Amino acid sequence: MSLLSTTVPAIGVPLQGAVTEWPYLEMLTRFALALALGLLIGLERERRKKEAGLRTFGFIAVLGAVGASLGDTYAYIVLCLTGLLTVFLNIQDMRTHAGTELTTSAAMLVTCVAGILCGKGHTLTPAAIMVCSTALLAWKDILQGFSIGLTEGELRSALLLAILGIVIYPALPVGSIGPMGLIEPRAAWATVILIAGIGFVNYVLWKAFGTRGVAIAGFLGGLVNSSVTVNELASRVGAHANSAVAAAAYRGILLATSAMVTRNAVILALLAPGVAVAGAGAYAAMLAASAFFVFYPRTPPATSIVEHNAPSDQIVLPFSLWSALKYGLVFLLLHVFGVLTQKYFGNVGFYLVSLIGGTVSSASAVAAAASLAADGKLTLDAAATGAIIASLSSVAINLPFVLRVPNRRFVMAIAVAMSVIAILGLAGMLLGETLAAIVTEHFPALLSIKAPPP
């Protein structure tokens, strides 16, 4: 069905062809919306002292709405007339200013199309189009400055990230392939995209906000993959050894750890509330320790090596494709090894899988524990123990990334914080069996807990 032949369910009258009677309030609402949207973009053009301003854009939007209300033929005629108007505008401007108004011309055509949509009864779609178009016009200086300041390496990195996610990922086979279905190409490639994406976002925040963006990048990155985020932040400290960057990275690393613990607890609560209750002691203890070090930091100065302020053009590129590919390969190997171990060693294998999985993706390991418990293949305390092991493994695997930083005080501060978090998590894990027994005894129906196999 053509966009211009849309039937408006509000009045039940198809707007194809000429119409002799219009619902007054309905049509008035459509014309008013078209006029408001035209005035919105016209206001921006008027402020920039363009030939086509407030009234011109208002008339174009209303004209489009009237044409669409009369029928498809009139809508096309109005669109063609608007195109002729843009041609006249550019000819007149070349005569007087030796230039063209291509941007204003494009805005006029967009306004006409939005007016036609309003005439057809659409509301949110034309409104969103016009608001976005006005924003593009208003942010001219910002976008122009961003484009000029973009380096060749940054542009290549953005294109490469788009190729990884948009071109290659959809072409990979869905599900497991190979012997015993051990290989999942999309899962492995998703890890590659994840590594590249986190590095890119962190780079953008770092370049845009400096040390102020590290806390944002740390927390958001921790929600996705804390190990990658910690690795990224630690590498920034190595490249920019001044106290401001070290303090920001210290806070960002702890925020990443806090985000990881929070994410895993939420996953358990959503997928298996009984397991979440059984592991509540450990997760509460880890969150309390993380919050303490985040909000009451002992800022580690970076005076053990030469301090300097690196200029922005010396910041490393957003991500390394080779590092992302290596990480994806490691993920694939661990996935295969984890499936085989779990198959042949039962609960012991499950704990080993949780330990290994936590080093790569604790979220996946936690989700697996919740799923097994919900299916009755694991007891609540065993599932909670596996989920906690995965979370602790994710905390422990971050230390090697920090140890490479050439600043002893920074490394010691992070090591102490992570050690306290891990110790409290282990202590809280001891409560798992008691909490699981309470849940099993008092809330089996509420939590839909299935009896584990003998």
- pLDDT tens digits, 204-213: 766 666 556 6
32 or 386, which is more confident: 32
> Are residues 130 and 41 both part of a single domain?
yes
**Phi, psi of 130, rounded to the nearest 5 degrees:** -70, -35
- Tell me what pLDDT residue 318 has: 53
Average model confidence (pLDDT) across the chain:
75
Lowest mean pLDDT among 51-55, 221-225, 323-327: 323-327
Pairing mode, if any, of strands 13-14 and 7-8?
A: antiparallel
- In angstroms, the Cα distances linking 226 to 64, 247, 264, 300 are 52, 18, 11, 20
Between CA 82 and CA 89, with CA 87 as vertex, the angle to 5 degrees is: 90
Q: Is residue 209 part of a domain?
A: yes
In the predicted model, what is the mean pLDDT of residues 90-113? 83
Q: Is residue 454 part of a domain?
A: no
> Are residues 312 and 382 both part of a single domain?
yes
- Tell me what pLDDT residue 439 has: 55
Asked whether 339 and 178 are in contact (CB, 8 A), the reply is: no
Q: How many CB atoms lie within 10 A of CB 319?
A: 23
Asked whether 260 and 364 are in contact (CB, 8 A), the reply is: no
> Are residues 30 and 159 both part of a single domain?
no
Q: What is the pTM of this model?
A: 0.52
SS3 state at 318: coil
> Are residues 120 and 188 both part of a single domain?
no
16 contacts: CB under 8 Å, gap ≥ 6: 5, 71, 72
Among the candidates 143, 165, 198, a domain finishes at 143
Q: Of 238, 236, 271, 276, nearest to 256 (Cα)?
A: 236
Does 395 score more than 80 pLDDT?
A: yes
Q: What is the enclosing helix (H) or strand (E) of 287?
A: helix 280-295
Asked whether 79 and 112 are in contact (CB, 8 A), the reply is: yes
Angle between helices 243-271 and 380-396 in degrees, nearest 10: 170
> Are residues 307 and 329 both part of a single domain?
yes
Q: Is residue 453 part of a domain?
A: no
Asked whether 55 and 104 are in contact (CB, 8 A), the reply is: no
Asked whether 438 and 280 are in contact (CB, 8 A), the reply is: no
Tokens 């301003």 identify what position? 53
Work out how many domains the chain is built from and give that number: 2
Which range among 32-46, 98-112, 313-327, 343-357 has the greatest average pLDDT? 32-46
Question: Over the stretch 291-344, which tens digit does the pLDDT of each residue have?
Answer: 888 777 555 544 333 333 333 333 445 556 666 676 667 666 656 665 666 567
Q: Is residue 320 part of a domain?
A: yes
> Are residues 59 and 164 both part of a single domain?
no
Helices (H), 139-272: 140-149, 152-162, 169-171, 185-209, 212-239, 243-271
> Are residues 161 and 139 both part of a single domain?
no
Q: Which two tokens stand for residue 395?
A: 């905390």
> Are residues 206 and 129 both part of a single domain?
no
Name the residue range of residue 62's domain: 3-143
> In whole angstroms, what is the distance from residue 299 CA to residue 274 CA?
39
> Are residues 281 and 139 both part of a single domain?
no
Among the candidates 108, 143, 178, a domain finishes at 143
